[in-house]
């Protein structure tokens, strides 16, 4: 990547005022790190006392703390954003969170930021109305999405988007080392040595389909254990889920936040994506980069990444039997995928370098 020269405006502001840490937030850090290391000045807006330490030490990355995220009509937050943007004078403002689109776009327009870029990483409605008409038609914000399925959805369900203001860029990953520290789940959880470890990652919410895990576990032999890591997004009643499924809970392990995710990936045997709705889940990219056998629902984007079942097993959404059968087929070798081919796919169009070059072309187009 070639940064702008000294005379050019090479400043980027990313708004990420969230209380939870998930895929979007991890990608904000990834973008901030990459642009900062390549000579750009990056300012990341965070809620006070939320995740600042995860950006510590990043080159050319500056943190702006705010006390409130605000709502659509929060004038105080709006003017605070305007004041900050006028001081920093960025070329581009990037907002990856739908809830903040309106305030950030309005503030950027008032502050005369020339490039206003939004992001949508899940299939959500962009309702017709004055708010989004103003954002996309009057204030000329552009949208980045992470898969073709989401781009088709937006261009066919609303009249705000066309080829001039919606850009599809696949999320990229760096290929990890396959050798290294690995979590020994059998030892940690006191399991038999012949246990099969099925990994899941994500917020504990309905969209991720983790309420289906007990039914999936019932279809698997007793030697199969499901380990889940992730925190936040608690719209599932976990107490009730556990209470109602005592028969399989000894084989489902909710482990909470995991700091060493590379060790997690190396420690599992199979990865399961049980989501009802996605838009090319980041965890699928990570599973592919580690060459892990995958069972994934046909949530939007999954078929694009897995090449219509060329690189992993695809099932219908909520098809518990199919997910369990896929796990068993991978475990016993009935179905197999070449991990080297998975990693080769990640090294191409789904690489971090490819993604960042695409983002640079949008954030800082050549003049």
pLDDT of residue 205: 87
For residue 2, the model assigns a pLDDT of 43
Label residue 1 by pLDDT band (50, 70, 90): very low
**Does residue 20 register a pLDDT over 90?**
no
Domain parsing of the chain, residue ranges: 11-171+351-363, 185-346
pLDDT grade for 6, boundaries at 50, 70 and 90: very low
How high is the pLDDT of residue 74?
A: 84
pLDDT score for 336 = 97
pLDDT tens, position by position, 65-121: 999 887 767 899 999 999 999 999 999 999 999 999 999 999 999 999 999 999 998
* Residue pair 236/205 in contact by the 8 Å Cβ criterion: yes
CA angle 12, 15, 17 (to 5 degrees): 155
CA 191, CA 105: separation in Å to the nearest integer? 52
What confidence category does residue 8 fall into, taking pLDDT thresholds of 50, 70 and 90? low
On average, the pLDDT of the chain sits at 92
Q: What is the pLDDT of residue 129?
A: 84
Give the mean model confidence (pLDDT) for residues 317-329.
98
Q: Is the pLDDT of residue 367 over 70?
A: no
CATH of 11-171+351-363, one of 3.40.50.2000, 3.10.20.600, 3.40.718.10, 3.40.50.300: 3.40.50.2000
Residue 3 has pLDDT above 60, yes or no: no
- The label of the residue with tokens 């099925």 reads 198
What average pLDDT does this structure show over 154-167? 91
Q: Enter the CATH code of domain 185-346.
A: 3.40.50.2000
Token pair listed for 332:
């016993």
Give the burial class of 159: count Cβ atoms within 10 A of its Cβ; 0-12 exposed, 13-18 middle, 19 or more buried.
exposed
114-158 pLDDT per residue, tens = 999 999 987 777 888 889 999 999 999 999 999 998 999 899 988
Which residues have a Cβ under 8 Å from the Cβ of 363 and sit 6 or more positions away?
Answer: 12, 35, 91, 92, 94, 115, 117
**What is the per-residue pLDDT for 208?**
93
Model's pTM, two decimal places? 0.84
- The model's pLDDT over 258-293, given as tens digits with 9 standing for 90+, comes to 989 999 999 999 999 999 988 788 899 999 999 999
Model confidence at 5: pLDDT above 60: no
Are 58 and 76 spatial neighbours (Cβ–Cβ below 8 Å)? no
Q: What pLDDT band is residue 11 in, cutting at 50, 70 and 90?
A: very high
Report phi then psi at 234, rounded to 5.
-80, 70
- For the chain, give the percent of residues with pLDDT over 90: 77
Confidence of residue 234 (pLDDT cuts 50, 70, 90): low
341 burial (CB, 10 Å; 0-12 / 13-18 / 19+) is middle
- Residues 21 and 152: their CA atoms lie apart, in Å, by 28
- First-to-last alpha carbon distance for the chain, in angstroms, is 16
Q: Which residues contact 96 (CB under 8 A, 6 or more apart)?
A: 14, 15, 16, 24, 27, 28, 118, 119, 121
- Token pair of 41 as six digits: 């000045």
Instruction: Give me the pLDDT at residue 300, please.
Output: 84
Band (4; pLDDT cuts 50, 70, 90): very low
Instruction: Report how far apart, in Å, the C-alpha atoms of 217 and of each of 54, 248, 321, 324 are.
Output: 35, 7, 10, 7
Residue 7: per-residue pLDDT: 41
Q: What is the DSSP letter of 134?
A: I
User: Hey, do 11-171+351-363 and 185-346 end up sharing a CATH topology, with the first three levels equal?
Assistant: yes
pLDDT digits (tens, 9 = 90+) for 180-191: 999 999 999 999
């Amino acid at each position: 990547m070639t940064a702008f020269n000294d005379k050019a405006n090479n400043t980027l502001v990313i708004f990420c005022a969230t209380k939870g840490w998930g895929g979007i937030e991890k990608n904000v850090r990834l973008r901030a790190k990459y642009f900062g290391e390549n000579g750009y000045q990056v300012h990341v807006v965070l809620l006070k006392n939320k995740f600042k330490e995860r950006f510590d030490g990043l080159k050319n990355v500056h943190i702006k703390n705010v006390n409130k995220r605000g709502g659509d009509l929060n004038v105080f937050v709006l003017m605070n954003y305007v004041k900050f943007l006028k001081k920093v004078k960025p070329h581009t403002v990037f907002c990856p969170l739908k809830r903040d689109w309106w305030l950030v776009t309005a503030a950027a327009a008032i502050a005369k930021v020339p490039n206003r870029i939004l992001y949508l990483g899940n299939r959500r409605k962009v309702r017709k109305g004055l708010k989004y008409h103003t954002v996309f038609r009057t204030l000329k914000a552009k949208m980045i999405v992470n898969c073709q399925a989401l781009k088709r959805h937006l261009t066919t369900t609303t009249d705000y988007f066309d080829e001039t203001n919606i850009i599809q860029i696949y999320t990229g990953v760096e290929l990890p080392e396959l050798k290294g520290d690995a979590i020994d789940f059998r030892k940690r959880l006191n399991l038999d040595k012949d246990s099969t470890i099925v990994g899941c990652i994500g917020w504990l919410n309905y969209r991720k389909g983790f309420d289906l895990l007990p039914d999936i576990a019932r279809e698997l032999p007793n030697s199969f254990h499901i380990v889940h890591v992730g925190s936040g997004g608690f719209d599932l009643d976990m107490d009730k889920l556990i209470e109602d499924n005592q028969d399989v809970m000894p084989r489902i392990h909710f482990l909470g936040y995991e700091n060493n995710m590379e060790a997690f990936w190396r420690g599992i045997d199979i990865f399961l994506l049980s989501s009802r709705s996605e838009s090319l889940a980041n965890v699928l990219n990570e599973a592919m980069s580690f060459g892990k056998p995958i069972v994934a629902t046909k949530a939007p984007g999954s078929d694009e990444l897995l090449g219509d079942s060329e690189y992993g097993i695809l099932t219908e959404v909520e098809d518990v039997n199919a997910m369990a059968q896929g796990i068993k087929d991978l475990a016993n070798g009935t179905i197999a995928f070449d991990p080297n081919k998975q990693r080769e796919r990640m090294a191409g169009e789904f690489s971090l370098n490819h993604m960042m070059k695409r983002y640079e072309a949008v954030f800082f187009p050549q003049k």
